[in-house]
Amino acid sequence: MTHAHITSWLITIVLFLIAVSMARRGAGKAKVVQMVLRLFYLITLATGLMLLHGITTISPLYWLKALAGLWVIGAMEMVLAAEKKGKRTVAGWTQWIVALVVTLFLGLMLPLGFDLF
């Protein structure tokens, strides 16, 4: 399940970057990419919840990681909404980067992640 979760959030990040670039260009297919992106939000959430459910002793850091993951998704939506309205996206990008770093750090630090730290 860990590999499915990692694959889903990697695809989500790639789709997010594609959706932002298409929104900046005003491409007509940007809505289609955003809908597929939202489908991958659900897949990422589902695989993450399955991982959480499979842990016998849950550390509070896993809940913090889950909240940070939700923050990543919220920041992605903030950036896309601001791009669509033609507003500044600096706050959304800053939040997205901070949330992504926190989530990745926690994910790699905790026992279910890879042994990098």
* Contact between residue 53 and residue 46 where contact means Cβ atoms under 8 Å apart: no
Decide: pTM greater than 0.85: yes
Kindly tell me if the per-residue pLDDT of 45 is higher than 90: yes
11: CB partners within 8 A, 6+ apart: 40
Distance CA 97, CA 16 (A): 13
CA 9 to each of CA 3, 25, 75, 96, 108: distance values in angstroms, whole numbers, following the listed order: 10, 24, 14, 14, 14
Q: In this predicted model, what pLDDT tens digit does every residue of 67-101 receive, in sequence order? A: 999 999 999 999 999 998 989 999 999 999 999 99
Task: Decide: residue 38, CB within 10 A, 0-12 exposed, 13-18 middle, 19+ buried.
Answer: middle
Q: In this predicted model, what pLDDT tens digit does every residue of 1-12 receive, in sequence order? A: 888 999 999 999
